[in-house]
Each structure stands twice: as structure tokens, then as C-alpha cells.
Amino acid sequence: MSTVSNTTTKSPAEIFDSIAGKAKAKETTAVQDLESRFLTLLMTQIKNQDPLNPLDNAQVTSQLAQLNMVNGIEKLNLTMNQLLGGYAEAQAMQAAGMIGKNVMIAGNALPLSGSKAFAGIALTGNADSVVVTIKDASGKVVQTNELGEQQAGVFYFAWDGKNENGDVLPDGKYTFSIKALADGKEIEATTGQIGMVSAVTRTNNGFLLDLGDMGNVAFKDIQQIL
């Protein structure tokens, strides 16, 4: 396991070109070796053929066709390996470039820091009323906010860290839930928690983003970059 700690100035296109250039010599050598072995075997076969039962043109043509097929598969495999390598490097650059940025992932955590907290909400339809209920670590309701009418899609809200009485609450871990209504009927709403990326770690299964108190999340689980 290794940690991505810096970025590179190379573009993804330059990385692909670099990888292709390094692999070209290996590809040529591999194909040439394959052709050389095949031709050696074919010439040996022709040299030692039975004079009374020589190879016919169909047999030779068939073997040459097999060689072309093997060459095609070999080149395809090499190309795929190059593309996968280039994709991994491009993803590493993108992941490293997210350090210091806020991202949104699925969840309902609402960490309060410096009397400020932010979160996201996704609505499947337009809502006449959206109510946010905030709870502390013990599950006690500390604040209820009416966000009014909201359009379908993703939007964000901020909390100033105060309870119903206007008292400033201590920084720490809080959670929130959503209730959205349209014409008196509840519509589907999902919550999204927001955290800042402090580090990126490469694993065998891809990249993990360190979101501090929210823990590590997979790069693929990031819903939005803010």
C-alpha cells in the first residue's frame, strides 16, 4: 500500500504516449520472436516432410492464418495492458488532485467544526417543504430547520451549530435526516455528507480518500466534488 503525496504536471495524453513508447519495443520483440519460432518450426516441418506425402498449399495457408490470429491476439493484449496502465496513472493524478477539496458521499454525518457544518440533499422531485432534523451523538434532536421550497436535484445547506434556543453547541459529531413534502405527500430524499480530502492512498482495489473523521472512502464512491 502506498500513499499519493504529490502530483505530476504531465497530462493524461502525455502519459499514454509515454507508456505506448516504452511498450512499443517490447511489443515488436514479442511479435518478432513469435514469428521467428513459427517460421523455424514451419521450415523444419517442410524440410523433414514425407516426399510421398508433402504438405499441400491448404496446410501451409492454414498455419499462416493461425500465426496471424495469434499475432492479432498478442497485439490486442499488449494494447489493452497499455490502456489499463494509462488509465491507472490518469486516475492517480485525478485522485491526488482532490487533496484539499470538499467532496460529497452518501451518508448523514454532519460534523460540526468551528460552529459550521455543511451537507447535501438530493430530491427526486420538486418539494413544497424540506425539513432538516439535526441530532447530537446521543440521538437527541438539537435543531429543526425548515428549508422551504426546493427544486428536484442536489442542493446544499449550512448549519451554524446552534440549537433550538440559539445556544452555540460544541464542535463534534452530529447527524441529520430529511423530510420532503410535495402537495402534502412525502417524496424521496437522500442525504449526502461532505468532507475534505486530506490524503489519498493507493490499494490493490483502487484509491481510498481520507476524509478525516468520516474515515476512508473509495474513489468510486465520490458523488460530487465541491
- The tens digit of pLDDT for each residue in 105-143 reads 999 999 999 999 999 999 999 999 999 999 999 999 999
Pair 118, 199 in one domain? yes
Confidence of residue 8 (pLDDT cuts 50, 70, 90): very low
User: 93 pLDDT exceeds 70?
Assistant: no
Mean pLDDT of 15-30: 51
Q: Are residues 116 and 207 in the same domain?
A: yes
What's the order of all strands across the beta sheet hosting 189-196? Answer: 153-159, 117-123, 189-196, 102-106, 224-225
Compute the C-alpha angle 196/199/205, nearest 5°. Answer: 110
Q: Is 57 in the same domain as 124?
A: no
Same domain, 192 and 129: yes
Q: State how many domains the chain has.
A: 2
Residues 180 and 199 in one domain: yes
- Residue 164 shares a structural domain with residue 55: no
The phi and psi torsions of 99 (rounded to 5 degrees) equal: -60, 130
* Residue 173: per-residue pLDDT: 93
Mark whether 174 and 70 lie in a shared domain. Answer: no
Cell 402537495 belongs to 183
Q: Crossing angle, helix 12-47 and helix 57-96, to 10 degrees?
A: 160
Task: Give yes or no for residue 73 having a pLDDT over 80.
Answer: no
Asked whether residue 194 falls in the same domain as residue 90, the answer is no
The three cell numbers locating residue 139? 440521538
- Residues 109, 180: one domain? yes
Give the separation between CA 164 and CA 141, rounded to whole angstroms: 9
Q: What pLDDT is attached to residue 140?
A: 94
Kindly state whether residues 159 and 189 are assigned to the same domain. Answer: yes
Verify that 54 and 148 share a domain, yes or no. Answer: no
- Cα(81)–Cα(103) distance, integer angstroms: 31
Count of CB atoms within 10 A of residue 59's CB?
Answer: 13
Q: Select the highest-mean-pLDDT range: 32-41, 183-192, 208-217.
A: 183-192
Domain range for 172: 102-225
Rounded CA-CA distance 26/11 in Å is 24
Q: How far apart are CA 186 and CA 178, in angstroms?
A: 10
* Least trusted range by pLDDT, from 60-64, 119-123, 176-180: 60-64
Last residue of a domain, one of 40, 64, 96: 96
Q: Which residues are registered as beta bridge partners of 54?
A: none
* Residue 193: C-alpha distances to residues 45, 115, 140, 196 (Å): 70, 16, 19, 10
pTM comes to 0.58
124, 130, 134, 112: CA torsion to nearest 10: 80
Given 52, 67, 96, the domain boundary residue is 96
Lowest mean pLDDT among 11-20, 54-63, 188-197, 214-223: 11-20
